[in-house]
């Protein structure tokens, strides 16, 4: 038995308004005449947050287009652009949702690694540390702020650059930044966290480390989405910590059926991670009976729409593509169903599941 020895985030600051400490936090990482680059979710274009970015010297703000989830081609373009303009940079600071977190991590790595980010999609393929990188989440749930991966869609696969060089050097957890997320988006990304917990806590990889974080994150999600009757600042505080703890939980375990299936949807149809997980989880009563029951209650209570029949009318070839992508997520299936998962989750059974989505 070999135990995972995993790299964690370097520094963490948490609290309402802690974003204002960013200037002080970045100061020791600034190199003479080498800019700090702020990668901001395009949602913040024309928003007051832009004026609070601690710019100095030749620092640059880039607005990240997150209409689609991050692609390797976009990462390569951003890194190339920065290399041409500045040679190198003091650091990359990502400010936004999970997509922006992943973009910031990937661009930081590609500043110091040759070739295309597509060459590094997989496990431990990255050879050199990236430039300094900090993450400031503005949407809670994915756990991308703590994870050792950054999920990218490449020419042949949707897979992260999983490596010890991937986690942020610094994260700034300021729940105030999540105040204005629309209710549907907040729910979809919040449910990503809820589903991380259910998949981790019901998985065969579970140990006391991931259980401790997973139970706490699950409890926080339940407080917010099951017990509370209206959204307030305290919900933002709690969901930000749930995301962090949920991410820590899967760091030492793995996700499961919902994620494996949702990757297939996302690859073929471009369905986004949060909503895709909700669409799939809604139909997983056979695998996670209690979690799915509670999920349905939360959907109803929070008056959220979960799209139905999104795979209706797809061709056999399209179903095969989704099945192939999904079946490729071996560790997820093994965590969910055990070593003999291939005997349990046959292609026929998976096809039936896809047809219900």
Site for ligand NAD, rule CB under 6 A: 41-43, 66, 69-70, 96-100, 102, 138-139, 142-144, 147, 149-151, 177-178, 180-181, 185, 189, 192, 272-274
Q: How many residues bind Zn ion (CB under 5 A)?
A: 1
> How far is Cα 164 from Cα 5, in angstroms, rounded to an integer?
10
Least Å from the CB of residue 184 to ligand NAD: 10
192 in contact with Zn ion (CB under 5 A):
yes
| Partner whose binding site includes residue 43, from ligand NAD, Zn ion, none (CB under 5 to 8 Å by kind) | ligand NAD
Least Å from the CB of residue 311 to Zn ion: 20
Least Å from the CB of residue 112 to ligand NAD: 19
Mark the segment that binds Zn ion (CB under 5 A) among 39-47, 83-91, 186-194, 227-235. 186-194
Select 274 or 291, whichever has its Cβ closest to ligand NAD: 274
Cβ neighbours of residue 151 under 8 Å, at least 6 residues apart? 69, 70, 102, 144, 158, 159, 160, 273
| Partner whose binding site includes residue 98, from ligand NAD, Zn ion, none (CB under 5 to 8 Å by kind) | ligand NAD
Least Å from the CB of residue 49 to ligand NAD: 8
Select 69 or 76, whichever has its Cβ closest to ligand NAD: 69
| Partner whose binding site includes residue 139, from Zn ion, ligand NAD, none (CB under 5 to 8 Å by kind) | ligand NAD
| Partner whose binding site includes residue 147, from Zn ion, ligand NAD, none (CB under 5 to 8 Å by kind) | ligand NAD
Select 174 or 192, whichever has its Cβ closest to Zn ion: 192
Least Å from the CB of residue 51 to ligand NAD: 16
Select 143 or 291, whichever has its Cβ closest to ligand NAD: 143
Task: Tell which residue, 135, 105, 131, 134, has the closest CA to residue 120.
Answer: 105
| Partner whose binding site includes residue 149, from Zn ion, ligand NAD, none (CB under 5 to 8 Å by kind) | ligand NAD
Least Å from the CB of residue 63 to Zn ion: 24
Q: What are the backbone dihedrals phi and psi of residue 129, each rounded to the nearest 5 degrees, phi first?
A: -60, 150
Select 35 or 255, whichever has its Cβ closest to ligand NAD: 255
Least Å from the CB of residue 100 to ligand NAD: 6
Least Å from the CB of residue 350 to Zn ion: 19
Binding site residues, Zn ion, CB under 5 A: 192
């Amino acid at each position: 038995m070999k135990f995972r020895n995993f790299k964690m985030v370097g520094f963490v600051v948490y609290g309402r308004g802690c974003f204002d400490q960013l200037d002080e936090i970045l100061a020791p990482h600034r190199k003479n005449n080498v800019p700090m680059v702020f990668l901001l979710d395009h949602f913040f274009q024309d928003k007051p947050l832009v004026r609070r970015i601690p710019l100095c010297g030749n620092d640059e703000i880039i607005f990240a287009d997150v209409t689609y989830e991050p692609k390797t081609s976009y990462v390569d373009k951003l890194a190339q652009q920065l290399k041409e303009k500045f040679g190198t940079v003091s650091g990359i600071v990502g400010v936004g949702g999970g997509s922006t977190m992943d973009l910031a991590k990937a661009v930081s790595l590609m500043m110091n690694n040759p070739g295309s980010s597509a060459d590094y999609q997989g496990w431990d393929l990255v050879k050199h540390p990236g430039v300094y990188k900090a993450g400031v989440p503005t949407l809670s749930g994915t756990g991308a702020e703590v994870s050792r991966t950054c999920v990218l869609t490449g020419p042949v696969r949707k897979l992260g650059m999983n490596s010890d060089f991937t986690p942020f050097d610094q994260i700034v957890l300021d729940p105030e930044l999540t105040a204005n997320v629309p209710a549907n988006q907040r729910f979809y990304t919040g449910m990503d966290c809820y589903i991380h917990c259910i998949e981790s806590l019901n998985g065969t990889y579970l140990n006391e480390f991931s259980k401790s974080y997973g139970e706490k994150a699950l409890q926080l999600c339940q407080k917010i989405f099951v017990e509370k009757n209206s959204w307030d600042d305290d919900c933002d505080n709690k969901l930000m910590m749930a995301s962090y703890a949920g991410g820590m939980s899967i760091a030492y375990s793995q996700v499961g059926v919902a994620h494996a299936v949702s990757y297939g949807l996302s690859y073929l149809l471009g369905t986004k991670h949060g909503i895709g997980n909700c669409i799939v989880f809604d139909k997983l009563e056979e695998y996670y009976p209690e979690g799915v029951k509670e999920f349905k209650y939360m959907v109803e209570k929070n008056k959220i729409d979960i799209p139905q029949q999104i795979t209706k009318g797809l061709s056999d070839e399209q179903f095969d593509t989704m099945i192939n992508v999904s079946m490729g997520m071996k560790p997820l299936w093994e965590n969910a169903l055990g070593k003999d998962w291939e005997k349990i989750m046959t292609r026929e059974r998976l096809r039936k599941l896809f047809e219900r989505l």
